[in-house]
Amino acid sequence: MTKTKKMDCSWSSYFSSSSLLLFLCFFSFDIINAEFNLTTISFDEGYTPLFGDGNLVRSPNGRSARLLLDRFTGSGFISSNMYKYGFFSANIKLPADYTAGICVAFYTSNQDVFEKTHDELDFEFLGNVEGKPWRFQTNLYGNGSTNRGREERYRLWFDPSKEFHRYSILWTAKNIIFYIDDIPIREIVRSDEMKLDYPSKPMSLYATIWDASNWATSGGKYKVNYKYAPFVSEFQDLVLEGCPVDPIQELSATDCFESDARLETADYSVITRKQRLAMRRFRQRFMYYSYCYDSLRYPVPPPECVIDPAEKERFRDTGRLKFGGSKPKAAKRRRSRRARRGRVQVVAAAEDPDM
């Protein structure tokens, strides 16, 4: 079954100030599988509230949840179990209109258990001023490698506040894949050289919305404007696959053989040739920052980086694009610890240059 997804240009005012407009309107993906074969669960089957209780609103049938941010608090939920290897996925819709300063995060972490040596895999959606599109980044940490951020930043080919799209993180012993719908947008293949920077301890799934005024939009230039509150993000068709593991007794504990085998043979564990092409197209057209090409930050790229000479051509030595979008400002880069609402720490990425 072949399905072509064409970008909807009706929201093109989104990009009206951008020379990317024409380019984006001709963008399309040819993908073999329209959807993965997934088993969805209810909120209570897999998750518990994390913070901002009143701002976590479950749907009457328990199949979906909304996370709200207002002037008093953000909110979040967490998986009831920790998993060693898994597939974490949800259909997500982000807040609309003026969303500067907001961060919606969908990620796995074990920072609550391993404060100094935590592992983490991130989708972080960064709000924007009205009329400017959401952007997002992916990142990973292993065994507390917080001084070695591995951020990539991207635009989207659709408006994530208008439609639900599925965002997924696959984590196996061999690789990590970030997906949007059935399009793999980033794959990290485990290599021996990565050592413990590759996440290796059981992690929980987190979903949060929080005020990231000092970081999310143009490096903190635009704050959350609570005139537009509450900001609502919706999560539905929740999927948690993998082996539930007690993080402390990990060694003596569960036999994960069966669930690991199920993970590794699932449709989302195999990147088809068409999907690989779609991944390359996505990365060529929508990635605007990669730590792998940021040679000021990493004179020697981290070991998992696959340097594509043609791709490298497109980036400056700051890891930012040479062309496309607006001009990057001078590389004013900060990497400081930020408190993430809800007990979690995150290391801020490179400042967003594209406003």
Ligand X SMILES: *[C@@H]1O[C@H](CO)[C@@H](O)[C@H](O)[C@H]1NC(C)=O
Residues that bind ligand X (CB under 6 A): 37, 39, 117, 143-144, 196
Helix H, strand E, coil C: the string for 145-186 is CCCCCCCEEECCCCCCCCCCEEEEEEECCCEEEEEECCEEEE
H or E stretch covering 263: helix 257-265
Min CB(1)–ligand X separation in Å: 11
How many CB atoms are closer than 10 A to CB 265? Answer: 9
Which 3 state secondary structure label does DSSP give 77?
A: strand
- The answer to whether 94 touches 102, Cβ cutoff 8 Å, is no
Q: 31 or 67: whose CB is closer to ligand X?
A: 31
Whole-Å CA distances, 17 to 23, 176, 324, 354:
13, 35, 12, 12
Min CB(182)–ligand X separation in Å: 14
Which 3 state secondary structure label does DSSP give 265?
A: helix
Nearest residue to the partner ligand X, using Cβ: 37
- Please provide residue 145's backbone torsions phi and psi, each rounded to the nearest 5 degrees: -80, 45
- The answer to whether 195 touches 117, Cβ cutoff 8 Å, is no
Residue of 35, 45, 120, 193 with catalytic role: 120
Q: 8 or 115: whose CB is closer to ligand X?
A: 115
Q: 33 or 42: whose CB is closer to ligand X?
A: 33
Residue of 124, 241, 304, 351 with catalytic role: 124
Min CB(146)–ligand X separation in Å: 11
Helix H, strand E, coil C: the string for 22-53 is HHHHCCEEEECCCCCCCCCECHHHHEEEEECH
Q: What one-letter code names the amino acid at 131?
A: G
Say how many CA atoms lie within 13 Å of 8 toward its Cβ: 7
Q: 39 or 249: whose CB is closer to ligand X?
A: 39
Q: 120 or 124: whose CB is closer to ligand X?
A: 120
b/e map 229-253, b = 16+ CB within 10 Å: bbbbbbbbebbbbbbbbebeeeeee
- Rounded to whole angstroms, the Cα distance separating 337 from 72 reads 22
Min CB(195)–ligand X separation in Å: 8
Determine whether 120 is an active site residue: yes
Min CB(143)–ligand X separation in Å: 4
Q: 197 or 351: whose CB is closer to ligand X?
A: 197
- Please provide residue 268's backbone torsions phi and psi, each rounded to the nearest 5 degrees: -75, -5
Min CB(145)–ligand X separation in Å: 9
Determine whether 351 is an active site residue: no
Q: 51 or 179: whose CB is closer to ligand X?
A: 179
Min CB(41)–ligand X separation in Å: 13
Please list the active-site residues: 120, 124
